[in-house]
Structure 1
């Protein structure tokens, strides 16, 4: 997989990844679901670069992984009780509407909403303690299957990615479930690790 001029783009050191992200770089990293292509969500230039690397349609926004609920304040989004419950559960991505659609246009791509997930396991949790919000689309070009390992990711992207993390593996082989709440009811946009029944159970669980 490596030769002499490629070896420096593979690392098992989390600090290398954190430094790269802070410097506006793009990395392949294991998330709580699949391998993802990560960039600092607040770095517009890095986000746009991921679109080029993935050859993704420019009107399709990316999921944003965040450290915790408090990070949402930076994005100025609406948050209902139901949405908060789902975000605090494992493996669920929630669509939240922006209060000011003129903000973060490079992230919402005209949809006036953003998709968030709070990872609960894996080394991604440690990363988010240092970089509290990252975009994290799956590590594959548009219309090709997600990379199952670092070797596959490297075959896809070669040195278009600044750094590949080899120190851990994803915690799932399935993507997250994506949910939007309308009138207090969940609409499943993509079913992944968490089923529709589990989503409803989380929402309907008695309030503490």
Structure 2
């Protein structure tokens, strides 16, 4: 399957409220429309994850990130620009996202992806995409397609074809929490 067709199908599934499995700039992820409460709920159930544990959202650009976070602190832009590996920032004052995706304190974990497949997927979708590890909560994260359990594979509406054949180590992103008051906390 051509990458363009793969992305087109994944976007169609998410626009219809479905959930997908896809390669990201880090590990394989389970994704959906980050503005769709029901789709987000399906991911929590599939992962058997407590819905008080936040999930990451991917976007394709600075401009898109600003549509979903009120007042991005200046230090966030500096961190994202200087980061040598994929970096997720947890930011206060999330807006325009599914309420069950936003943490109790009003924050959201966002990452601007630079990896070609996930960046194009985000660009074509035109909204943030949930990006949570493709595993049952508490089990090891799937670094490659071959590491994904049957339960996860069977629990989604579409599995992307791109990068399935990769067999190399992948790591989750760094996670940094940035508070409005300027406090910086390294989570991972």
- The verdict on a shared fold, with TM-score over 0.5 as the criterion, is yes
**Distance in 1 of aligned mates of 2:37 and 2:97:** 12
Runs (4 or more) in structure 1 with deviation over 6 Å come to: none
> Which residue of the partner structure matches residue 69 of structure 1?
62
> Which residue of the partner structure matches residue 4 of structure 1?
none
Matches within 5 A, 1:93-108: 93-98=88-93, 104-108=98-102
Question: What RMSD over aligned residues (CA atoms) do the two structures have, in Å?
Answer: 2.3
Of residues 18, 30, 34, the one that matches 2:27 is 34
Answering whether residue 146 of structure 2 is matched by residue 146 of structure 1, we say: no
Of residues 27, 49, 53, the one that matches 1:60 is 53
> Which residue of the partner structure matches residue 166 of structure 1?
161
> Which residue of the partner structure matches residue 175 of structure 2?
178
1:32–1:172 contact (8 Å) kept in structure 2: no
> Matched residue pairs, number?
178
Deviation digits for residues 123-145 of structure 1, max 9, x if unmatched?
Answer: 00110111231010010000000
**Distance in 1 of aligned mates of 2:20 and 2:33:** 10
**Distance in 1 of aligned mates of 2:169 and 2:24:** 9
Q: Mind listing any 5+ residue stretches in structure 2 that lack a counterpart?
A: none
Q: Mind listing any 5+ residue stretches in structure 1 that lack a counterpart?
A: 1-11, 191-208
Q: TM-score, normalised by structure 1?
A: 0.77
1:58–1:109 contact (8 Å) kept in structure 2: no
Distance 1:181 1:27, change over 3 A: same
